[in-house]
Every structure is written in C-alpha cells, then in structure tokens.
Chains A and B, each alone.
Chain A
C-alpha cells in the first residue's frame, strides 16, 4: 500500500513553497490551508472571510492557479507552490497590478483586496486583454462591500493594458 495516512489527532509535517521560499510547519488533517498559512507561516495577507468558498478573501495561487484556501486543508496541498499577496510585489516595489489598484482607488477597507489581487494575477495570464464582461465574470467570485466594484474593474483593465505595454 502506498496510501498516505495522517491520523486525526496527530500533527503532520507540511512542506510548501510559499512566495518562492521553502517553508514547513505542522498541521492536523483538519487544519485549513488559510489557517496554516496565517498561523503557522505568518502569511497574514491571507484573509479569512466566509470560510465556505463564497467571499473569495482567502484566494491564493496554488501551483499557479487561483483557488480558495478556506475549502481545502493544508495536508491536501503538501508540496505545492503557493503565492500569497505578500509574494506579488517585486523586491518591495508594487507590481503593475498593485499600482493600478492604488491609482484607481480600487480598495477601501482592503479586506477583499489580497484575494482579488491573487485571482487577477492568474486571470490576466489567460486572456491578456480581457473585456469588461470577462473581468466582471471573474470578479463574481469575490465579494467587496466597499467599492461597488466599478473602480476594481477599471483597475484590472488598466493593469491589463499596462502589463501588455510592459510597464
């Protein structure tokens, strides 16, 4: 048998690459990935909102794809490459997407922002010049109670243009 087995009451060693660094910590099987990233690895940019996959605040990149970190446990993604909002800036300088969010006032309280930035990072790889309708469709996976979304849509379209221009 090659079945991996972690008993409920034992903490398993989890190794991940988080924002380019090898990190490890211990987690019981039931520990959610978002809680592991926050409490074991101090990635406090991962925000925990609804805890059932609806609000999108906890979205991170797992092996390059934007996913909820509240509806999977840390043991499930052992060995994965994870990027959180902390990993988006380039050597301490905000990237084009983050600059567009700042310029267009695409956040107010900022609770939903880390998840949205992670989603958009993946999203802009596939349609590099998305339409407004495509942006709004992608944003349906995030809840923002401050902005009314208009400024977020503007910022994402701006970022898409800027990234294409290479700025």
Chain B
C-alpha cells in the first residue's frame, strides 16, 4: 500500500523541529531513517497529517564520548554506530547487539534514536539501552529533560515522549573495561523481530564473586525489561547461570501472540539468560587471564 497524503517538513535545526511540533503535536510524525515509520506509513498503521524529516540535521549525527557517558545523537545511523571505535570500546553491548538489528540494508538507513523513540517491544537497541542504564534526552519548546531508559518505555510503541517533544540524544554510561557483555536472541529469520532477546553485562570482584550484574529481556513483555538480579551479587559466579535463568523466567509476564506462546517465551528466556550470562562470564575471565 501507499502512505496517506502528508505535508512534508525538513527542518535544519532542532529549534525548528520543536517549533513545528509545538504547533502540529499529534498530527505530526517525526521521521529519521524511516525503517519502522516507513512500513507503518505504507501499511497505513499511522496516518499523520505532517511528517517532520530530521535526517539532515547534522548535530543529531554525532557520537560524543563525555567523562562518564557516551552521547549518541538521535540521528546516528546504525551502520555508522557499528563501525564506530568509540562504541566498540565504550559500549561493547551495543556493538554486539547491532548486527542483530534488522538487516545490512536497513542498518544503512535506520537510526539509534528512531529505534528508541519507536519502542518496539522486541527491538535490540532499546534492550541494550535499558541494560546499560541509559537516559533519553527529550527536547521541546518548553524544556529539555532526561528520562531513565527503564521509565521511558511504557509498553508496545508507547513511551513517555510527549507530542511536542523530540528525542535528541541517548546518553549511555560507559561500560567499565573489566566488564563482560553478551547479547543473544531468537527470531524466525535473522534480522526479523526477536521472539525473545537477552542482554547481560557483569563484573567480578577480585575474589571471583559477582560485583555487578545487569540483565534484561526483549520481546518477552510489551517493553524491554530489566531483571532485578541484586540477590545474586556477592555470590560465586560459578553455577549461578541456571538459578539466574529460573529467576528471570519467574520475574516476567510473557506476551502470548501469533509469533510465540507465553510458555515458549518462558522456555526461550531460560535458554537465552543462561547463554548470555555464561558468555559474559567467559569474556571477563578471558580478559582476566590475559592480564595475569
């Protein structure tokens, strides 16, 4: 199908975008790469009166390392993020997840900010963003504000963004160099929507016990969820994987839909959590061995 007729606006600055949004509000759709909005327009799942194309705003394309965080502009294209040394070094979880995002041909156009603003429950970038403990930067004519990733995602395609706001940047805490990260997912075909995805980031204390553990699941609930794993801290990392998988499976209320039953999602959750935990642990230990 073809999109409904819409007015097309292509501002060159963020202040022009927020001026337009304050006037058009719900009638406008913000367009960056269009790898999810494009299909939704073609399928007429969205029928905006106006489209605001932010893809040529250069300031939104920067990847900027700051003291404790890395700031990725909303318009950073996924393939550029995949080739970025800063992201490979400072945000290894994101670097690992990006090859799972869509396909080569869609990563050449899709953006980091677009994926977060769109908030598909199974999307990889929002999952990493939650597990890393990032914050969304939102700008409107009224104010600039930051929302923690975990609060930003409210449900399928539903976020805290107000109609007059634009996502301008994502702020990612730098991953400590001694952390180990892993990402895995199950989809019907590589690049399709994940039926379930898991991401893990962990650090060990000098005595080998778990010091930090971030774990999250995508595609299981109607938004990316962080699993509270505090009860595992201080334990020896050996033999934790199975108990952690059971804990994660007991913490979620899985979706039940055409692509998978709730039971199947629980089964995948256990497999994926065990997998990402063990992979992340192996990475920490490999690094430890190299340093000795």
User: Does A167 sit within 8 A of B, measured CB to CB?
Assistant: no
User: Does B289 sit within 8 A of A, measured CB to CB?
Assistant: no
Report the bound CA distance from A51 to B40 in whole Å.
10
CB atoms of A138 and B104 under 8 A apart: yes
Q: How many chain B residues have a CB neighbour from A under 8 Å?
A: 40
CB atoms of A8 and B7 under 8 A apart: yes
CB atoms of A3 and B104 under 8 A apart: no
CB atoms of A137 and B16 under 8 A apart: no
CB atoms of B11 and A51 under 8 A apart: no
User: Does A86 sit within 8 A of B, measured CB to CB?
Assistant: no
* Nearest neighbor of A4 in chain B, beta-carbon distance: B10
CB atoms of B16 and A3 under 8 A apart: yes
CB distance from B155 to the nearest CB of A (A): 22
CB atoms of A76 and B34 under 8 A apart: yes
- Spot the interface stretch: A15-23, A63-71, A99-107, A157-165: A63-71
CB distance from A82 to the nearest CB of B (A): 13
User: Does B55 sit within 8 A of A, measured CB to CB?
Assistant: yes
CB atoms of A53 and B35 under 8 A apart: yes
Report the bound CA distance from A138 to B105 in whole Å.
8
CB atoms of A52 and B42 under 8 A apart: yes
Of residues 121 to 148 in A, which have CB atoms within 8 Å of B's CB atoms?
122-123, 137-138, 140-142
CB distance from B147 to the nearest CB of A (A): 27
CB distance from A127 to the nearest CB of B (A): 11
User: Does A119 sit within 8 A of B, measured CB to CB?
Assistant: yes
CB atoms of A2 and B109 under 8 A apart: no
Report the bound CA distance from A4 to B6 in whole Å.
14
User: Does A72 sit within 8 A of B, measured CB to CB?
Assistant: yes
CB atoms of B189 and A140 under 8 A apart: yes
Choice from A51, A53, A72, A137 contacting B99 with Cβ under 8 Å: A137
CB atoms of A7 and B7 under 8 A apart: yes
CB atoms of A72 and B109 under 8 A apart: yes
- In the complex, which residues of chain B have a beta carbon less than 8 angstroms from the beta carbon of A71? 34-35, 38-39, 42, 109
- In the complex, which residues of chain B have a beta carbon less than 8 angstroms from the beta carbon of A62? 109
- In the complex, which residues of chain A have a beta carbon less than 8 angstroms from the beta carbon of B108? 65-67, 122
* Nearest neighbor of A76 in chain B, beta-carbon distance: B53
B168-197 vs A: 1/0 string, CB under 8 Å? 000000000000000000000111000000
CB atoms of A53 and B38 under 8 A apart: yes
Beyond A2-B16, A52-B42, A71-B35, is A8–B106 a contact (Cβ under 8 Å)?
no
CB atoms of B105 and A3 under 8 A apart: no
CB atoms of A1 and B16 under 8 A apart: yes
B19-34 vs A: 1/0 string, CB under 8 Å? 1100000000001001
Report the bound CA distance from A123 to B103 in whole Å.
12
- In the complex, which residues of chain B have a beta carbon less than 8 angstroms from the beta carbon of A8? 5-8, 49
- In the complex, which residues of chain A have a beta carbon less than 8 angstroms from the beta carbon of B255? none
